[in-house]
Structure 1
């Protein structure tokens, strides 16, 4: 009731805000009780990261590095990363952003009462920009409860708690200004799915808490949309439902986040597509491709079908669909609504990890090869997922270019053919580059299209 009175008071007319308080109750209206309860569970995180010197491409080349050796050259240096985190359990489980602690060699967690602990990363995922830590504490710690993200609505009053600019713990207020935001802030593969808020979020707030008026965690502050480097009132938080899945996997000992694999490609349905597809308005995802091992294909989905919801929640982008699948969790079954020829139907889709079959058969070319250090794997669904390759990719992909970087090879290049011979297995590449041939013509597939690399050794 007290929180409700506070909300009504804060949303009152601007004229009322300029009036002198008429009673002791009006004077005492504030966020203080809520902050007093929630703030102890929000921590400051200090991480040390060993940064390798950049140098030039030739200096990083194993062949040429001897010509550039300099006893006074730059050595690996320590960088300090500053961010925030949230304690989620009395035994010291903490969530933060991957970009804060993911590459750290040393992590210190400081509570609001200045207690300080060392911590280690249990589970991290760069694409989701989440990391789960464990504090080395013997006593019970204050923590925040997670709120069901499906209950969060636009317009709700929220507080952001963190350590912006390293000035110490601060609190800012605002509202939830948007839901289901994707393709913004954090993540490298388009799997981001965020709650948007106008509560000011600044550098150092990363990993901090976005809480509701009941003191429950609704999201982890992760990024801002800005041109100046400061808050412009557009901040993004990772929903608590995804955080809960991370915690569950971390407690089971997972070393890598297990995200369900869809094995499909598609695009949002726009206004031009909606009518011909039997929709009265734009929405959903039209399927343009299906991998032979896709669980959606096994469930009866076909190219041209439209996916409109997962477990009853509407999906309008691929990122939103992957989020819904991730929240449901590996090993479970999702109820997917499919639209075909204007008729809706529900199909049950098994949520599986990307199969690591056929075997990837990794190969690293030796010193006698034309391109020593070149590391290759055969493409399978797991490799597609890990390297964010197009769904239709087949054959062999470059994991590490090694000396191949000298001739233009990059990580993620799919080698299609060498000297006119199609490549289907890493050993095919090893055989050609280990022979007596000195003129090489290599056709590779990149996101930007096919490229021909010609070189002589």
Structure 2
């Protein structure tokens, strides 16, 4: 919108700024301009153009911190140690050397007693964490909960009290075009504020950062070091945790992603309850987004929802009457258009209580109440650590819904899953996440079956394995 040679790009997009422009209009103009839509209000004075984010910045920056993390990582001493022949000749001796790795990021204080939220990729696995406030106070910190899937971690500052904290916004109320500020410590230069708008919502299915979920997209400049920092609205509330950018150069190209505040709130609640790992409601299903072809087949006017493609028999959806082929359209009235968005909506509501689902079942829309439960531990996982000669170094568990959720297995997975593989088990070719189907042609339904099969005194072994949906047969001799 161009007025008197000025290019005015969206500053009047918020109600507060529109009101300020309205107050500065001459009386005649005020009478002739309709307040709706608000984007038609044009600044008519120098005062209307003298807009500033300073009040929001003053209110929010004290609660945004810089995080310096140090972790010990082990590096391979030589590329030749990847070679199986070297493994047999030298074993594990001197294969890796420790190295100190430093990480820089940002965080947000959410409680006066020192509860801080950041990205898991900033603090995960750190041996030492130092948090620096905007007033230069420093605190040591401990990770009390971390979640790799959402790329969030909750820290507690030692001996902290009376700290400034941000209020959480309802991220479901955010709209494309809302003004936002990104606050963090990019490149380690010190606390920095950048402004922009929400450029998209419901970004999901993207491999950005360590998270694989649902994001708010913003064009506020986000750079390395901003990870874990705050995305705040014009009321000074936390709208999201900045986590990643899409870039080819390593710098900001105006496409950044933040984890919505509603999920942050649930993770902090679980951390305060004593959880060290974030627990999501278990649905026991897989699904796919409804595209144009599927929408036509289901008789939907537009592509929308998530069609259920696979379901565990114990799924709470199954108990509510949902079957494979049904389409989940909304969660508590909020539309869902991808599996990631559906799981985000459920995770943000936590475990316990119920949720209302809008489902297309048999060509008719239904509203169903579904319980939000933790993944059941039925049958018992009965962890087995193999110490005998055959498959020594193997740690395995009987597959149940909780094990499926922990290892990211398909809902219909059955049998025994490999948790750890060392020594003979590793040399035989087994890896964590492998599903053991049989040993020496004896089918495996539980770790008790595996234990019996390994009592065979023979020297020749056959292990049938399902690895990411592909079956293979491992043969070895002791």
Normalised TM-score (structure 2): 0.87
Question: Contact 2:62 / 2:164 at 8 angstroms: preserved in 1?
Answer: yes
Secondary structure of the equivalent of 1:415? Answer: strand
From 189, 206, 211, the counterpart of 2:232: 211
Q: Where in structure 2 are the equivalents of 1:5-404 lying within 5 Å?
A: 23=46, 25=47, 28-55=50-77, 64=88, 69=93, 75-186=97-208, 190=212, 192-366=213-387, 368-403=388-423, 404=425
Q: Aligned partners of 1:264, 1:321: CA distance in 2, in Å?
A: 11
Q: Secondary structure at the match of 1:336?
A: strand
Residue 74 of structure 1, CA deviation: 5.5
Contact kept in structure 2, 1:84 and 1:204, CA below 8 Å: yes
Conservation of the 8 A alpha-carbon contact between 1:97 and 1:207: yes
Distance 1:278 1:189 in 2: 34
The answer to whether the 8 Å contact 2:395/2:418 transfers is yes
Alignment of 1:402-441 (within 5 A): 402-403=422-423, 404-441=425-462
Distance of aligned partners of 1:61 and 1:361 in 2 relative to their CA distance in 1, 3 Å threshold: farther
Distance of aligned partners of 1:305 and 1:84 in 2 relative to their CA distance in 1, 3 Å threshold: same
- List per-residue Cα deviations over 1:174-213 (Å, max 9, x = no partner): 11011111122457684x1110011111111000000111
Give secondary structure in 2 for the equivalent of 1:76. strand
- Matched-pair contact (CA < 8 Å) for 2:20–2:48: no
The change in CA–CA distance for 1:158 and 1:185 in structure 2 (over 3 A counts) is farther
Give secondary structure in 2 for the equivalent of 1:276. Answer: helix
**1:233-269 Cα shifts (integer Å, max 9, x gaps):** 1110000011111111111111221110111121111
Contact 2:244 2:257 in 1 (8 A): yes
SS state at 2:100 partner:
strand
User: What SS does structure 1 have at the residue aligned with 2:97?
Assistant: coil
1:375-401 deviations in whole A, cap 9, x for unaligned?
Answer: 111000000000001111100011111
1:68 Cα offset (Å): 6.3
Which residue of structure 2 lines up, in the alignment, with residue 4 of structure 1? 17
Contact 2:209 2:244 in 1 (8 A): no
Partner of 2:464: 443
Could you tell me whether the CA contact under 8 Å between 1:185 and 1:224 is conserved in 2?
Answer: no
CA change 1:354–1:7 in 2 (3 A) is farther
Whole-Å separation in 1 of the counterparts to 2:364 and 2:49 = 59
Partners of 2:208 and 2:245 within 8 A in 1: no
Distance 1:285 1:74, change over 3 A: closer
Decide whether aligned partners of structure 1 residues 155 and 452 sit closer, same or farther in structure 2, where only a CA change above 3 A counts. Answer: same
Query: How far apart are residue 33 of structure 1 and its match?
Result: 2.4
TM-align CA RMSD: 2.7
1:121-176, Cα deviation, whole Å (9 max, x unpaired): 12111111111111124441111111101110001111111011111111111110
Aligned length: 446
Shift of 1:434: 4.1
Go from structure 1 to structure 2 and tell me whether the alpha carbon gap of 1:113 and 1:65 turns closer, same or farther (over 3 Å shift): farther
Which ranges in structure 2 are unaligned for 5 or more consecutive residues? 1-13, 23-37
C-alpha contact (below 8 Å) 1:7/1:157 kept by paired residues: no
Taking a change above 3 Å as real, the CA distance of residues 449 and 99 of structure 1, as seen in their structure-2 partners, is same
What CA distance in whole angstroms lies between the structure 1 residues aligned with 2:182 and 2:210?
25
1:127, 1:186 within 8 Å by CA — same for their partners in 2? no
